[in-house]
């Protein structure tokens, strides 16, 4: 079980690093100028696949961690 958790965590780290940044710039976040920061952008193609894989790996990590805690 620990091996599976280790593999999922490595895959999760890798897939998060592959994601594109949603913020246009760090200065907008720090200055509070967020008018265009979270504008309505649709994810398409590879971005959508990476987002879904990230969600699934995150859920799997959470569930396996809870199962290991109670065993």
- Contact between residue 5 and residue 58 where contact means Cβ atoms under 8 Å apart: no
Within-domain flag for 35? no
**CA distances in angstroms from 50 to 2, 5, 17, 21, listed in the order given:** 24, 19, 10, 12
**CB neighbours of 20 closer than 8 A, spacing ≥ 6?**
47
What's the total number of domains in the chain? 1
Is residue 55 one of the residues assigned to a domain?
Answer: yes
- pLDDT above 70: percentage of residues in the chain: 68
- Domain range for 62: 1-17+44-71
- Lookup: tokens for 65: 């961690």
Residue 23 lies in a domain: no
Residue 20: the pLDDT is 72
Assess if residue 24 is contained within a domain.
Answer: no
Question: What integer best gives the mean pLDDT of the chain?
Answer: 81
Q: What percent of the chain has pLDDT over 90?
A: 49
> Global pTM?
0.70
Tell me, yes or no, whether 2 lies in a domain: yes
- Confirm whether 57 is domain-assigned: yes
Q: What is the pLDDT of residue 26?
A: 55
Per mean pLDDT, which range of 12-16, 30-34, 56-60, 65-69 is the poorest?
A: 30-34
């Amino acid at each position: 079980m620990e091996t599976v958790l280790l593999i999922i965590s490595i895959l999760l780290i890798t897939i998060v690093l592959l994601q594109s940044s949603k913020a246009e710039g760090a200065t907008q976040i720090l200055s509070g100028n967020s008018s265009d920061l979270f504008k309505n952008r649709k994810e398409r193609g590879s971005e959508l696949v990476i987002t879904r894989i990230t969600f699934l790996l995150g859920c799997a990590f959470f569930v396996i961690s809870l199962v290991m805690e109670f065993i």
